[in-house]
Structure 1
Amino acid sequence: MLAIDRYDGPMWRTLRNALSDLTAEQKDRLDIWFLSAKYGFHRADLPISSYEQLLTTKRGQELVRLPTSNHNAFRDATGKAHKILLAGGQAYREVMRRVIQAGSDIAETDGPGIGFHRKQLRGWLADV
């Protein structure tokens, strides 16, 4: 199953719902990636299996360091982007920030609760 369909947390449901409101042209301008404690950094159209693995501090450090995490491809993709949104929990955003090179317009979901994060995600996509 594609990662964008496999993951079913509130942010992923919001993302899928917001994408359904966009035109094909708008969707073509997006390059959606995910960070997984198991799989590392990949585009959201990668087929993945179901798994259970938490992103610990140690695992985050490994993902930033190990070439097998695909962090170089993520860094290169974000380096070409004009606008970036880092969406997810604090631990995930921190690992993503450590990989991304400065220079792009980087925004993050952040705030008092998941509802706030979901609103930020939807608003950012509407502005794209």
Structure 2
Amino acid sequence: MTSILPSRRLLILSCSTTKRDGPQYMPARDRYDGPLWRTLRHADPDGQKAQVAFLSAEYGFREARSTIENYEARMTPELAAAMKAGGLGTRWPRPKTQRRVMPPGEHPGMHIASMTEHGRKPFVEVCLVGGALYLDVMQHFVELFQADAL
């Protein structure tokens, strides 16, 4: 049996309505406190079994060690469609106004590129966990990551 290194596994979880209080910014892995995230922290407390990313209605696709604020946002069909249409280059969270030339936030492409060492260490196993709207966006992003060899 061949062993797959954790860095070659990717687990993408949907965000969680339940969040932990704490500092203004804390890693998403620690902020989210729904059943999936509790199970992750229990089953893989040191992050050795897989690299973990999340999909959030507020933050889009990010690596789970990314720091986030506590927020309230739900995925809607319109938001899922906007995320898919934006592809790997759209920054999240979306700006509240159109005043800035360069919108704030981070985009999925930068996170997946970092997680794969810019395609030098692509994932060989990917697991997606979430509700239907989240899974739809996750699957779309995974297809884009594969097309870009990330």
Q: For the superposition of Structure 1 and Structure 2, which TM-score range results when normalised by the shorter chain?
A: 0.5 to 0.7
Structure 1 residues 7-52: Cα deviation after superposition (integer angstroms, max 9, x where no partner): 01100001111103xxx6x71x622100000010000001100000
Q: Does residue 1:81 correspond to 2:123, yes or no? A: yes
Secondary structure of 1:35's counterpart equals strand
Task: Show the counterpart of 1:68.
Answer: 91
Aligned residue type for 1:31: Q
Aligned residue type for 2:56: S
Q: Does residue 1:8 correspond to 2:41, yes or no? A: no
Structure 1 residues 66-103: Cα deviation after superposition (integer angstroms, max 9, x where no partner): 31142334565577210000011121111100111289
| RMSD (Å), alpha carbons | 2.5
Q: TM-score, normalised by structure 2?
A: 0.57
Task: Show the counterpart of 2:78.
Answer: 58
Task: Show the counterpart of 1:32.
Answer: 52
Q: Could you say if the C-alpha distance between residues 13 and 68 of structure 1 is closer, same or farther in structure 2, counting changes exceeding 3 Å?
A: same
1:41-56 equivalences in 2 (<5 Å): 41-56=61-76
Q: Does residue 1:19 correspond to 2:39, yes or no? A: no
| Mean Cα deviation higher: 86-95 or 48-57 | 86-95
Q: TM-score, normalised by structure 1?
A: 0.66
- Identify, as 1 or 2, the structure richer in helix: 1
Gaps of 5+ in 1: 105-128
Contact 1:11-1:88 at 8 Å conserved across structures? no
Secondary structure of 2:61's counterpart equals strand
Secondary structure of 1:4's counterpart equals helix
Task: Show the counterpart of 1:91.
Answer: 133
What is the aligned residue count?
99
Q: Could you say if the C-alpha distance between residues 49 and 102 of structure 1 is closer, same or farther in structure 2, counting changes exceeding 3 Å?
A: closer
Cα distance in 2 between the residues matched to 1:102 and 1:49: 27
